[in-house]
Structure 1
Amino acid sequence: MSCHRQILADYYACEVIVERDAFLSQHFSKDFVWHAGEPWGHGSDLARWQSEVMNPLFSALSDAHYEVHILFAGSTMNKPDGSGDKTQWATGSGYLHGIFANDWMGFRATNKSLRIRFSDFFRFEDDCIVECYSQIDIIDFLQQIDCDPLPPSNGERFIYPAPTGLNGVMMTPQDDAETMRTFKLLHDMLFDGLNTFDGEGLESMSMEDYFHPNLKWYGPGGIGACMSFKEFQERHQAPWLIAFPDREVLGLDNLICDGHICGEAWFQSVEATHGGPYLGVPATGKTLKISGIDYWLRQGDVFTENWIFIDFVELFNQMDYDLLGHARSLQP
């Protein structure tokens, strides 16, 4: 897995399209399966991922370079005892920096600096990358170019730091005992905590058993960061559960843990009924599939930081609201 970490680190070090294309040809399967989130969707060949997802992004940015906050690897831990199918994953997250020099996704270039939040989960077979789940924080990007299609965020905008008190770029495997402690806390939080909401009070989930009072919750654009456990409950959890009171985590298909940190790419693996208003959109009564990526940092017996992506474009499409179309109409 150390090799997988290095391959991922080398991928993020590629700074021009020609260099990146050569790297992809060497390390990625031609039948590479990708889940890029909306508006790109998914596919099963490397050429489309390059031409439809990555090359347009890097063509839009001049002086593009990655700032990696989190990088680790591990085997899938999708069973209650921490075992799994031994699928190998490596993940990275942070900022993609650049000057917005050319149009992208129908948005006009501003020639101003951008910091695009990104997250990738790559699946390996031997030393070849065969699949990925990737997220770009589209709403955060739209906020930076003053085309935010959502109401003002409850949390603080533009906060997505590296882990506190820990080098999140871990190029070697971490202690197995700490890895298992992290897994157990996460598994208990998801299935004995989040999934036990009684539809009435947040206290029914006992979230205080899993999170530090000074929790730092780095939410996506549209929600923003919450700088304490109390803020997390008031600014995110309460509005979320009004909108999606029966939401349920269905599984942990690619959860990996490495020492004190863990992460999961959840592609349509949260299911909910849209039973109340959310960010300006009234309830539709529809059953929704929600996608995103999470990272958690454990210190002692609780989580102290949580970085989260939610595919809002996909989510709002299911709520019959075209976020990107509305955002494009806001351009000067």
Structure 2
Amino acid sequence: MPTNHLETKHWLHAGLARLAEAGPGGAAAVLANLYAPDAEWRGAHPLNEMRGAEAIAAAVWEPLFAACPDLERRDLIVAAGTFEGRDYVAAVGHYCGVFHADWLGIPATGRTVYLRYGEVHEVRGGRIVQSSCLWDILDLIRQAGLWPLPPSLGAEGMWPGPITGEGLRLAPANSAQSAASLAQTLAMQGTLGAFRDHEDAGREELLAMPQRAHWHERMMWYGPAGIGTTRGLPGFVDQHQLPFRIAFPNRKGGQHYIRIGDGPISVTGGWPSVTATHTGGGFLGLGPTGRLVGMRVMDFYLHHEGLIRENWVPLDILDLLMQLGVDVLARLRDLRRR
């Protein structure tokens, strides 16, 4: 049984790799060793929420193994820490395999695919008691050659790991560096929350406001499919931040269940992390709906040269669009019928 963060990271890093490679019929046995009997699993739409290892095996893993029997897990970031007395391990990476059979209505390609993930696992007593798994299902739809939305403003494609190669935090961390990384993240997020969209909204105001003190000049922002990757503060503002803030000017963010620092990596996330009313147009090609929404979001940050160099942002776009009245999987079924 792991007794500290470092041991927990090694245990879970290895255990989740075994789970990904369990193959058809093998999930239940691995889950029994990893999860508490009544563990909660929260995932991206349409998987959503369930409880218990049997339900997780039946609803999540066995259908995925049927689609990709040779599945494997490739972590880019693994970090751990404690928030409000709870111990967490968080990861970003890709599940890789050949897409042999349809999954969630997404047509099989017979080719290699990469299912991007952001995951946060709460560990207690040597077992996972809660998993939050934002798998980028929309990006898998893109890889299947179908696209049910307007073009992304950012660049679509696989996410790279940290430019410094420091993503797998499997060695002891410097506690002062860990604390500083998280403090910088929360300070940057504080500038975003303090910005007054109705009074100050505009490209030049976003470029000039205090967030700029925290971002590296070569910052990379890796968004989910539907938004895409941006580079530099101008790219971030033009290709994501300004359209997003126009659409959701009255957001409430920072509703976090996790806030951790691990060396040069920090992680925050909420379920939901952001609540907002959709009062502006343009984001994801939609006009304003007036609907109140909650956004399942995680943020993973690399701190480098005293600044935030990279930001990976798993966000459940399919769930957000469902709340806005757009059923992407229904659109996908319609595209397939045509």
TM bin (shorter chain): over 0.9
1:49 aligns with 2:56: yes
Query: 1:32·1:131 contact (CA, 8 Å) conserved in 2?
Result: yes
Residue 46 of structure 2 corresponds to residue 39 of structure 1: yes
1:55-74 map, 5 Å = 55-74=62-81
Paired with 2:303 and 2:164, the residues of 1 have a C-alpha distance of 11
The 3-state SS of whatever aligns with 1:75 is: strand
2:92 partner SS: strand
| Secondary structure, counterpart of 2:301 in structure 1 | strand
C-alpha distance in 2, partners of 1:52/1:21?
Answer: 11
Q: Distance in 2 between matches of 1:267 and 1:32?
A: 16
Alignment-derived partner of residue 4 in structure 1? 8
Quote the Cα distance in structure 1 between the aligned partners of 2:90 and 2:27: 18
Q: How many residues are paired up?
A: 323
Q: What displacement does 1:203 show?
A: 4.5
Code of the aligned partner of 1:129? I
Indicate which of 208, 230, 237 corresponds to 2:234: 230
Match of 1:251 in 2: 255
What amino acid maps onto 2:298 in structure 1?
I
Shift of 1:21: 2.8
Q: Describe the superposition over 1:276-301 as per-residue Cα deviations: whole angstroms up to 9, x where unpaired.
A: 12212210111111112210011132
Query: How far does residue 13 in structure 1 lie from its aligned partner after superposition?
Result: 2.4
Structure 2: give runs of 5+ residues left out of the alignment: none
Judged with a 3 Å threshold, the aligned counterparts in structure 2 of structure 1 residues 205 and 19 are, in CA distance, closer, same or farther, namely: farther
Corresponding position: 1:296 with 2:301: yes
Q: CA separation of 1:205/1:287 partners in 2, compared to 1, >3 Å: closer, same or farther? A: farther
Match of 1:328 in 2: 333
Does the CA-based 8 Å contact 2:278-2:292 persist in structure 1? yes
Q: Which residue of 2 aligns with 1:122?
A: 121
Q: What residue number does 1:104 align with?
A: 103
Map of 1:1-332 to 2, 5 A cutoff? 1-14=5-18, 15-17=21-23, 18-76=25-83, 85-191=84-190, 193-199=191-197, 200-201=201-202, 202-203=206-207, 205-277=209-281, 278-331=283-336
> Separation in 1 of the partners of 2:267 and 2:335?
35
4+ residue segments displaced more than 6 Å: none
Normalised to the residue count of structure 1, the TM-score between the two structures is 0.93
CA distance in 1: counterparts of 2:284 and 2:243, whole angstroms: 9
Judging changes above 3 Å, is the alpha-carbon distance between structure 1 residues 214 and 204 closer, same or farther for their aligned structure 2 residues?
closer
Contact kept, 8 Å, 1:98 with 1:114, in 2: the verdict is yes
Q: CA deviation at 1:59?
A: 1.6
Counterparts of 2:307 and 2:75, CA distance in 1: 24
Structure 2 distance, partners of 1:330, 1:226, is: 29
- Deviation readout 1:26-73 (Å, 9 max, x if unpaired): 121110111112111112222111111122112211321111101121
Match of 2:284, SS? Answer: coil
**By how many angstroms is 1:327 displaced?**
2.0
Aligned mates of 2:224, 2:113 — CA distance in 1: 16
- Evaluate the alpha carbon distance shift between residue 205 and residue 126 of structure 1 in structure 2; reply closer, same or farther with a 3 A threshold: farther
**1:122-157: per-residue Cα shift (whole Å, max 9, x none)?**
101121111111011111111111221111111111
Instruction: Report the 3-state secondary structure (helix = DSSP H, G, I; strand = E; otherwise coil) of the residue aligned with 1:12.
Output: helix
**Please, what TM-score do these two structures have when normalized by structure 2?**
0.92
Q: CA RMSD in A?
A: 1.5
**Which letter maps to 2:323?**
Q
Secondary structure of the corresponding residue to residue 222 of structure 1: coil
Q: Is this contact kept in 1: 2:95–2:114, CA < 8 A?
A: yes
Contact 2:166 2:264 in 1 (8 A): no
> SS of the residue aligned with 1:74?
strand
SS at the partner of 1:288? strand
> Which amino acid is 2:303 matched to?
R
Q: Which letter does structure 2 place at the counterpart of 1:307?
A: W
- Preserved contact between residue 182 and residue 262 of structure 1 (Cα < 8 Å): yes
CA distance in 1, matches of 2:232, 2:333: 34
Q: Which amino acid aligns with 2:54?
A: A
**After superposition, what is the alpha-carbon deviation per residue over 1:159-217, rounded to whole angstroms, capped at 9, x for unaligned?**
300111133111133101101111111111112x1101211232574221111121011
Quote how far apart the aligned CAs of 1:271 are. Answer: 0.9
Q: Secondary structure at the match of 1:248?
A: coil
Which residue number corresponds to residue 79 of structure 1? none
User: How many Å apart are 1:253 and its aligned residue?
Assistant: 1.7
| Percent of matched pairs sharing the same residue | 28
Q: Deviations over 1:199-239 (max 9, x none)?
A: 12325742211111210111110111112221011111011
